Structure 1
Amino acid sequence: MPKNLYDTLLDVSKSSMIDAGDMQSAGLLILTAAIHGLGINRAGIWLLTEDKQAICGKMLIDGDECKLDSDLCLARRDFPRYFDSLDTERAVVANNAHTDPGTYEFRDNYLIPNGITSMLDAPIRHRGNMLGIICCEHQGDAREWTNEEIAFVSALADTYGRAVSAAQRNEYEQKLKEINEQLEQKVNERTDILQTALRNLHHTQAKLIESEKLASLGRMVSSLAHEINTPLGIAVTSSSHCASELKRVQQLYRDEQLSEDEFAQFLQAIDDGLQLINHNLTRAAGLVRDFKLSGSIHIASDEEVFDLRACIELSLKGLQPLLRKHHIACELAPGDAVPLNSYPGAIAQIITNLITNSIHHAFAHTEHKRIHIALETHADKILLYYRDNGSGIPVEIRDKIFEPFFTTARRTGGSGLGLSIVYNLITQKLGGEIELTQDQAWGATFSIRIPYRT
């Protein structure tokens, strides 16, 4: 390639306008380079319609005149020979445009009125698809386009395809920004609702604490406060997961590694997350509303027959974002279905509180964090074993862990109600028992006995 063409192409390729996402600036730069490199006065960018039945002028430089978004379109039905040439997706090289099979159709209506004798059209490609052409038009005596000139214009067309990618990337980033703003707005709205609900709940609980014994307080808090805590915990977890996914996809965009499939999966994940947030926040708001109307804090799920194993699996599935965030492997030992006539909401809350307790207290110095849950069925009872491989529970506080408001993590926001609620749900709601096993070599291990009613 002659040095002047090579230098012109290099200047265009290095220009920041190509990757800025501004198609008009990039197009003008490319057409100006084509005019300068080929020594012509006319050059334009034409883009195919979506159905490829017409090609329309996007930009044209004719001497000192520049037209943007021309209303001139050429239909396939009017110029079939030219479109047959385009369908090959190779450059249309017309040394004599008046007689060339691909361009002679333009002779009377376009070539002669504009004094055009030779044409060189190079296809613009983006992600393997042809979008249009860069059309270089020579006026004066017919000229023979050299291989170097054909390669030069083809390289400019490829550069325009690069500019299209930059523009799409900017569009995707803008869409991500809008999604992020919408997500933040919805989260903020729901957070305001939650904060109001929690302030009202805390005020009510303070009055109850003043007038009730610790045992009564445990029952009341277990029936309302942590009935509400379940949907709140799921909503907060889903919100954190959505924010994490958003940061991951934003990084992929910045690295120019985001595929269309990944973007579609991201939108689906965000939609699923928002539905989960909306569902659980609505549920929490409903619990608070019912409490205000009835004046009772003993709100619980109805008793029903359900599969205990499936209930635990569903609870673990909902907690997966939180477990992944803290790099915890949680498993339920395989086994048969366990039909039980009891309270599935209480079971879900017990599992959630035990896992949350392990996260907050057990794994500060554990590298490979694990939680194991197992079920055993007997004639009159079901045994549920929960254990983690954390640091265990010191001997001096084992007798206090089920007391309301007892916590070793007060400074980090611990309320001291997690295991107290577990204890009250098991002993009062389910009519069962829970104990902390003496052997703490593997971490904390809880043994839960539930009456077996079917």
Structure 2
Amino acid sequence: MNNALEGLLLALSMDPLLDSDHRSQAESVLLQTCLQGIKVSRASIWLYSDENSTIACKLLCTQHGISTHDLPTLNRTDYPSYFAALDKKRVITAPDARSDPATCEFNLVYLEPCNIYSLLDVPLRYKGEVIGIICCEQTQQPRLWSDSDAAFVGALSDLYGRIVAAAQRHRYQVQLETANARLESQVQERTQHLQAALEQLKQTQHHLIESEKMASLGSLVVGVAHEINTPIGVALTANSHSQYVLEKVQRTVETGGITKQSLKSAVTDLLQSCNIVERNLERAAGLIQQFKQTALDQAHFELHAIDIDDYISALSSTLQPFCRQHQVELQLQLSSGLSLNTFPGALAQVITNLVTNACLHAFEQATQPALVNITTRVSADQQLCIMVSDNGCGIPRSHQQKIFDPFFTTKRGRGGTGLGLSIVYNIVKQHLKGELSLHSEPAQGCRFSLTIPNLH
């Protein structure tokens, strides 16, 4: 290959157009270099179909410019000799194309109509596979192709691989950008859906917590109302007795039969009745006040300092009626001695739910006196530990991993919603910033352990 041809190849190899996304322009420059280098009449690029059954002209250049003439698609079944020669992946050099065994099949349909005498076909390879050919055609008269001609066109064939690679990179880039844009759109859309779903879940969770609060308060109301009925009933009875004594004294005075002894006895009865009324009304007022504080705490989670043991002791007063209603003894072992900055309402909600849950579910098949125990102590790292334990039937091992899951219940269809312990767990984690764990053995009761820090 002479210096002029090598110079043309060097200039073409340095042309940035070969590595651009302008494939048609790059192909045109390559064919024009071919025409300039070997001074051939026509140069064209032909590409195989996907299944290699046909080959069609992609671009044709002549000494007069780019040709727009439509060229026929060559079918393997119509030109078996030519395709067999291409399949051998060798250069087809046909100085006399009209008589060459590989190309004579084109005489009537292509060579003679286009006045072509000689052909030089060089395979185009990409990633080791033949994808087409560069076809050099000499018109007007036959031409004897030199080794330099074949080498030059072979070098152009190698450069064509860069054009295909650049086009493929651009196609992949466009596909990637399109996919990224679609993915970003999908991510944004799904993010919006997830945010909406999360907001809805938060609202649902809030509503469930509020509903559970009201359910817990409802249970306490029943127990407290029953408990208050007793002192109120005694006070009413004592008051009725006082009214009876006064009416008796009044009648005695009217008849003039009153004596010092009868008056003294009547005064003593009235004082005793007044004392009974006062004690029982104070007891009822105390129950009402404790219940009001518990209800207020559970309805509004506000952060402030409380004496833990005193608070749980007061809370137990509102739980006692519910426990007695279910024939459960509530015991306290309060020894933490801590004053803690926390959410009393959240703590009251948790303890109330754990105690009422034990009363409702732990003693269905009890063979011994039912007992629920609330214990407080200080952990090794100076955190508050509260344990609510019972001596009931326990929780099967298969259920213990699911006990805090939403809607998990073994009482489906019998009033169980599966929300109580799930809400308790969420209150402990989100409001109290603590940990809640369960230990239970079948027929040996269960123990819920609550550890909460001092909040600021």
Relative to the length of structure 2, the TM-score reads 0.49
Relative to the length of structure 1, the TM-score reads 0.49
Structure with larger Rg: 2
